[in-house]
Amino acid sequence: MKRLVSLLVAFSAVAEEINGPLVLYSSMTDNDIDNLIEAFNEVYPNVEVEVVNGSAGELAARIRAEKDNPQGDLQWGGLSPADGDANDDIFAEYLSPYVASCIYRLVDEADLLDAYKSHNGRYNQDHLSTICFCINVELEKELGLNIQSYEDLLDPALKGRIVLSDPNSSSAAWNNMCNIFAVYGYDTQEAWDYLRALLENGLGISTSSSVCFKSVDSGEYVVGLTYEDGADTLLKAGSTNIRMQYPTNGASATSMGCAMIEGCPHPEAAKAMIDFLMSPEGQTELANRLQTLRFTNPKAQYEIAWLPPDSEITWVDRDVAWLTEHKDEMLEKWNALYAEINQ
């Protein structure tokens, strides 16, 4: 009740002025989206939210195709600093008044202060996505494995039983690749040797990011390279089939955000949702509802029941500037390697 009162007080001055439809494009889980809409409608009851789901790449392509007649108002999820200026033509220059204070400290303040601020004046970085392995515990036990590190994924027993989504279109897959570069070196022979070995061990590539946790839960795969949010949402829902493992070589998080679509039909409602997502009150409410996602505003107050504390994870630094500059080049090399091995 206290959280709800704080929420209503924080937004009471503008809530009644915002009404009508809002079209939300999102790559987040259904659980994330449903809870966002419920929390948002507590303070904006006159806004009707319509949702369009898709991967980050699919949504960017759709928004670009609709550029002359925008159908959506904002995107939530799949927007990271590694995009550089690639999407500057489809998102509007709008930063929430709260954006300057949204800095989440994971390891070292000096490294992260700039990394989680908006890099382009368009992306509002509201939450963190941390890579992890989603592992089917029964299959792992049957195979006599104890999967802890990247090297463990090269075990012949896992041939054809690991899945990753397509890094060309999935932010989850690209960020898992980023973590491998952070562990083995940026564009080093060691990193590419590891990726080659992973592909040669039958790494499956899916067009859907959710396959990397849902199909592990169902037993189709033993391991999925994914984000913690997807896996812990299944745990929260009662699954006993999976566990999350952060690679002992090191794990990293990237800030993800929301942005208003350029020329959107309902800009005031879009700004209201972005402000809600960036505010300490909005993040406090959503974090406590979800219990599965780390947020960026240091003034947000919550405990995450389904995620381990930062201190229990081995963290590795991620060179966001290098990854942003070289993303296209790395994807070209990945595609060539994938084609070579799967010809």
109 SS3 class: helix
- Judged on CB neighbours under 10 Å (0-12, 13-18, 19+), 70 is middle
pLDDT of residue 196: 98
Yes or no: say if 274 and 258 are a contact pair by the CB < 8 Å rule. Answer: yes
Q: Which helix (H) or strand (E) holds 108?
A: none
pLDDT of residue 15: 65
Residues 6+ apart with CB under 8 A from 1: none
pLDDT of residue 322: 93
What is the pTM (predicted TM-score) of this model?
0.84
Q: What is the pLDDT along the chain (343 residues), one digit of tens a residue?
A: 556 555 555 565 566 689 999 999 999 989 999 999 999 999 999 999 999 999 888 999 999 999 999 999 999 999 988 887 889 999 999 998 876 555 443 333 333 345 567 778 899 999 998 999 999 999 999 999 999 999 999 999 999 999 999 999 888 999 999 999 999 999 999 999 999 999 999 999 998 889 999 999 999 999 999 999 899 999 999 999 999 999 999 999 888 999 999 999 999 999 999 999 999 899 999 999 999 998 988 788 888 888 898 889 999 998 988 998 999 999 999 999 999 999 8
pLDDT of residue 9: 56
Q: What type of residue is 56?
A: A
pLDDT of residue 134: 98
- Using the structure block, give the residue that is written with the tokens 């947020």: 295
Q: How far apart are CA 95 and CA 270, in angstroms?
A: 11
The domain over range 131-252+317-341 is classified in CATH as 3.40.250.10: no
Other Cβ atoms within 10 Å of 68 Cβ, number:
6
Q: Do domains 2-128+253-311 and 131-252+317-341 have the same CATH topology?
A: yes
pLDDT of residue 102: 55
**CA dist 214 to 35, 173, 221, Å?**
20, 15, 9
Yes or no: say if 316 and 250 are a contact pair by the CB < 8 Å rule. Answer: yes
Q: How far apart are CA 320 and CA 179, in angstroms?
A: 11
Helices 189-200 and 320-341 cross at an angle (nearest 10°) of 40
pLDDT of residue 4: 55
Q: How far apart are CA 296 and CA 248, in angstroms?
A: 24
Q: How far apart are CA 35 and CA 20, in angstroms?
A: 19
Q: How far apart are CA 85 and CA 73, in angstroms?
A: 20
Q: How far apart are CA 122 and CA 4, in angstroms?
A: 29
- Using the structure block, give the residue that is written with the tokens 């505003």: 297
Is the four-CA dihedral 135, 141, 146, 151 of positive or negative sign? negative
- Judged on CB neighbours under 10 Å (0-12, 13-18, 19+), 202 is middle
11 SS3 class: helix
pLDDT of residue 106: 37
CATH class for the region spanning 2-128+253-311: alpha beta
Domain ranges across the chain: 2-128+253-311, 131-252+317-341
pLDDT of residue 107: 33
- Partners of 226 in the β-ladder: 132
